Amino acid sequence: MVLQLGEIAAQIGAQLQGDPDVEVEDIAPLHRATAQQLSFLSSSKFADHLQSTAAIAVILHPDQQAHFSGNCLLMADPYLGYARAAALFHPFEQKQQGIHPSATVDPTATIAADAWIGPQSVVMANVEIEPSVYIGPGCVVASGSKVGRNSRLMGNVSLMEDTVVGESCIIHAGAVLGSDGFGFANDGGKWIKIPQLGRVVVGDRVEIGANTTIDRGALEDTLIGDGVKLDNLVHIAHNVQVGEDCAMAAMVGVAGSTKIAPNCTFGGQAGVVGHLEIVAGTHCTARTLVTHSIHKAGVYSSATTADENRKWRRNSVQFKKLNESVQRLRRVEQKIKQLDEREEDE
C-alpha cells in the first residue's frame, strides 16, 4: 500500500512539517527504515537514531523536531501516531465470505451473507452472526450466541451457550468465553456443582488474547465493557464486571463478583480476590495482589523485586518475624515515653 504523507498526517491527527506529496510504502523502526518508509520516535533514549535513519518521514514530539531535518509528523504522543499509522498500512482485509464446506452450521443459525465461517468451525442453533464477521478455523459458537458486526474469532475460539460479543471485537486463538464459573457447595466434604445460569456479555471494540478464559455468571451476567483489552492467559471469573477501556496484561486473574470501574490497568500476573470494588483510574503494577476494595484512584503495588538468593532468604526469615519485631519496638517506644514523662515530672 502506498499513501501520501499529507493523507497520513490527516488520518493520524498529526501536524505535517514537510512535503505532503511524498509517497510512503510502510512503517518501520528508525534503525531499519528505508527511504520509502515512515518511522517514529516514542522514547527520547532512541533520539540518536534520528541522525542516521533513512526514513522518508518520522512521527515525533514537537520538542524533538530540531533533531531531525527531514519530513516530520508532529504529535504530542508519537506512539499513538505509530499505532494509527500502522493500522493504515496494515488493515485487516476479510477476503473470504460464506461458509467453508467443512464447517457445520445449524439451519436455525442466522449468518450474514458477507460473513465467513472457517474450516471445521461449528455454529449451533439460534446463533446470530452479523455482517463482516470472521470466524476462523476450528471455532465453536454455541447455541444462542451472537457475534456483532466486524468482529473476528481468529481460530479455535469457543463461545459457549448464549455468549454475546459486540461489534469490532478481536478474540485470539484458544480463548474460551462462557465456560462454567467455579461454583460449588460443600456437602459433608463432597463438592456439589452449582449450575451457572448467567452469560458472558462482551461490549464493542474489545480485544481478548490467546487462551484467555471468561466464565459465565452464576445467576447474573459476566460483563466486559466497551474498549477493554485483555492479554493472553487472562482469567475472568463468574459475575465479574470489567468497566470500559480497562487493560490487563498476561496472566492476570480476577476472582468472582469483583466490580472494576472504567480505565483501570493491571500489570502481568496481578491478582484480584473476589467480591471487591475497584474505583476508576486504578493502576496495579505487575504481580500486585489486591485483597481489599480500592476506593481511591492511583498506582498500587505489592510484589517484591528479585534479589540475590542468599540475601532474599535472610530477608524472608526476617519478614516472618516482622510482627514480633513491631510489637517489641512498640514496647520499647512505650518504655522510652514513660522514662521521658518521669524525667519531666522530676
Catalytic residue positions, numbered: 238
Give me the phi and psi of 208, to 5 degrees please: -125, 125
What's the CA gap between 192 and 189, in Å, rounded? 10
> What distance lies between CA 281 and its chain's CA centroid?
15
Beta-bridged to residue 294, according to DSSP, are 278
What's the CA gap between 250 and 235, in Å, rounded? 9
55 SS3 class: coil
Give me the phi and psi of 24, to 5 degrees please: -125, 135
Give the DSSP H/E element, type plus range, for residue 45: none
**Do residues 9 and 73 touch, judged by C-beta distance below 8 A?**
yes
What's the CA gap between 323 and 154, in Å, rounded? 51
Residues with Cβ within 8 Å of 32's Cβ and at least 6 positions away in sequence, in order, are none
What's the CA gap between 176 and 202, in Å, rounded? 12
Nearest to 128 by CA among 147, 113, 153, 100: 147
For 244, other C-beta atoms within 10 Å of its C-beta total: 18
For 11, other C-beta atoms within 10 Å of its C-beta total: 14
Q: Residue count of the chain, please give it.
A: 346
Give me the phi and psi of 189, to 5 degrees please: 95, -5
The three cell numbers of residue 152 are 473476528
299 SS3 class: strand
The full DSSP string for 195-224 is P----EEE-SS-EE-TT-EEEPPSSSPEEE
